[in-house]
Amino acid sequence: MASVTTKPNTTMKATLGSLILAAALSAGGNASAQPAPPAPVPPPPPQNNQQPPPPQNNQNNQPPPPQTGKAPPKRPHDQHTPPPFQQTNPQTVRPGDALPGLTPDQLAAFMDGKDDFVQRETPAGGLGPIFNRDSCVACHSQPAIGGSSNVNVTRFGKSLNGIFDPLEALGGSLLQDNSILGHGIELIPTEANIVTLRQSTPLFGLGLIEAIPDATILNNVKKVKIDGIQGRAAIIQDISSGQTRVGRFGWKAQQAVILSFAADAYVNEMGITNRFFPTENAPNGNTALLAQLDKVADPEDVVDPKSGKADIDRAADFMRLLAPPPRGPITTSVTTGSALFQQVGCVNCHTPQMTTGTNKIEALNLKSVNLYSDLLLHDMGTLGDGIAQGNAGVREMKTPPLWGLRGSAPYLHNGRALTVDDAIKAHDGEAKITRDRYLLFTAQQKQQLLDFLMSL
Ligand code: HEC
Ligand code: HEC
């Protein structure tokens, strides 16, 4: 079974996103990986509205490095010249934009990190030996760079007498279905009796979520319990700080800090070892085969002495400074739908708003975060995925934020719900009473709720 699968795009947004992505990439987003002969400035991407074009990667305006016959340097960061930065206009934030109100230095870090995020890694630069895709943007591109995608990864494990075993010695629980040499590709071991897909999640607004204090999430646990809803904070050991923290990223709330997630993704999705994860994944646990395939010394992602940053730090800067998804138009149907969302009890898990703590980045300091999630784990009954991960048990899933929903179809952890209606109907466990109330809605009420959700 392949670990990385794609499903047909189901939204216009996705198509538009592909266009923007294709335009951004062909315009030089990965110029340092694939130098092209000098060419005139490409025409702007097709525009179907009056909005200004998206801010472009600064390398677009620079001629590519001369062809010398040698492989290009992996990172051209020291060639960085300050691009003509455009501040994000708070009135016209689009998916993929930087947070409004960044300083020039912060905007530079955002653009620099975006270079790393779209960079196609090569075996010489540390890709593999086994991996899933060769760039972050390969799975995070819809409807703009930093979004989600219809790419799924596979997790597997073994459940015995109710105890979950991630089969780490056999390469679990994440499958890597690619290999730089074509062999060593992982297979699902016969010992596995749990195999499940995980859909890529959008990264917009991640810095705001990171800036929510642990205490705020812990407070959500103390809310009045109604409709059989419990909710539990995921208490995890954060690898980058060494601290005990409240997890909030990933379908299982398995990470609390963006840098830690970046480090995890670099090693597990791309096979690039780094200071937090210095050890390569052995194909299905076969360390002899790994020794034969692995030619690059670890850690592969090293800190640039000039900037003090490695790829994981720069990619984390980009994700931290991504603006949250913009709200859609508020129609009367949306307003009615918002009241229904409240009445039926969706708000008991999909908490409309939390506030960030004090933060040295002004754009993240004491800001309202309209994420529509309590960031807690809930026992979702049959909707659970059978995998225990971080602090989350096999039936527990984190309430996913609902902002940006109109750009992130398909839905649910495994992407199996093609519509929002399907996603709601699949709610079970702690959400069963709320779901049953939704099922009694009239067609018009369902439409109003949907209009509201699609405006987030
Ligand atoms: C093969 C596809 C794939 C690639 C490549 C990939 N990701 Fe992801 N990403 C995912 C999936 C799937 C999830 C959901 C993971 C989960 O919770 O199990 C995810 C989740 C995340 C999250 C958590 C967001 C949230 O709040 O839920 C972050 C951060 C992230 N990825 C960063 C990165 C970075 C940085 C890279 C490049 C180093 C990267 N990803 C490469 C598939 C991918
Ligand atoms: C008990 C807590 C709880 C309640 C109540 C609840 N949800 Fe959820 N919701 C979740 C969890 C957890 C998930 C993720 C489940 C998964 O994918 O395994 C989810 C997923 C979703 C998704 C899919 C999101 C995505 O990105 O894939 C939508 C849409 C959604 N909920 C809407 C609603 C609506 C509308 C209501 C009210 C009718 C509601 N939820 C009630 C916890 C809850």
Ligand 2 center to 427 CA (angstroms):
6
Q: Measured from the CB, is residue 145 less than 6 Å from ligand 1?
A: no
Structure tokens at 338: 């918002």
CB–CB of 209/353 below 8 Å? Answer: no
Ligand 2 center to 279 CA (angstroms):
36
Residue 445: per-residue pLDDT? 98
Query: What atom in ligand 1 is closest to the CA of residue 319?
Result: 29
Q: Quick one: residue 309, left, alpha or beta (phi over 0 = left, psi -120 to 50 = alpha)?
A: beta
Q: Rounded to a whole number, what is the distance in angstroms from the first to the last CA of the chain?
A: 35
Residue 9: per-residue pLDDT? 40
Longest dimension (CA), the chain: 68
Give the containing element (helix H, strand E) for 355.
strand 354-355
Which of 136, 156, 403, 405 gets mutated to test ligand 1 (max ligand atoms within 8 A of its CB)?
136
Bridge partner residues of 389 (DSSP): 392
Instruction: Note the helical H segments in 176-224.
Output: 206-210, 214-221
How far are the Cα atoms of 83, 248, 353, 364 from residue 358, in angstroms, in the given order?
Answer: 30, 18, 17, 8
Distance (Å, whole) CA 259 – CA 432: 35
CB–CB of 188/418 below 8 Å? Answer: no
Amino acid at 289: L
Which of 424, 433, 438 gets mutated to test ligand 2 (max ligand atoms within 8 A of its CB)?
424
Amino acid at 83: P
Distance (Å, whole) CA 133 – CA 387: 22
If you take atom 26 of ligand 2, which residue's CA is the nearest one? 411
Residue 264: per-residue pLDDT? 98
If you take atom 29 of ligand 2, which residue's CA is the nearest one? 420
CB–CB of 5/197 below 8 Å? Answer: yes
Residue 89: per-residue pLDDT? 81
Which residue from 151, 203, 138, 152 is spatially nearest to 403, judged by alpha carbons?
Answer: 203
Residue 18: per-residue pLDDT? 38
Q: Measured from the CB, is residue 151 less than 6 Å from ligand 1?
A: yes
If you take atom 36 of ligand 1, which residue's CA is the nearest one? 136
Tens of pLDDT along the chain (456 residues) come to 334 444 434 333 333 333 333 333 333 333 333 333 334 444 444 343 344 334 343 333 343 333 333 333 344 444 444 455 667 887 789 999 999 999 999 999 999 999 999 999 999 999 999 999 999 999 999 999 999 998 999 999 999 988 999 999 999 999 999 999 887 789 999 999 999 999 999 999 999 999 999 999 999 999 888 999 999 999 999 999 999 999 999 999 999 999 999 999 999 999 999 999 999 999 999 999 999 999 899 999 999 999 999 999 999 999 999 999 999 999 999 999 999 999 999 999 999 999 999 999 999 999 999 999 999 999 999 999 999 999 999 999 999 999 999 999 999 999 999 999 999 999 999 999 999 999 999 999 999 999 999 999
Q: Measured from the CB, is residue 23 less than 6 Å from ligand 2?
A: no
Q: What is the dihedral of CA 283, 287, 291, 292, to 10 degrees?
A: -60
| Coil/strand/helix, residue 6 | strand
Structure tokens at 177: 């279905």
Distance (Å, whole) CA 41 – CA 55: 15
How far are the Cα atoms of 49, 95, 349 from residue 85, in angstroms, in the given order?
Answer: 22, 17, 39
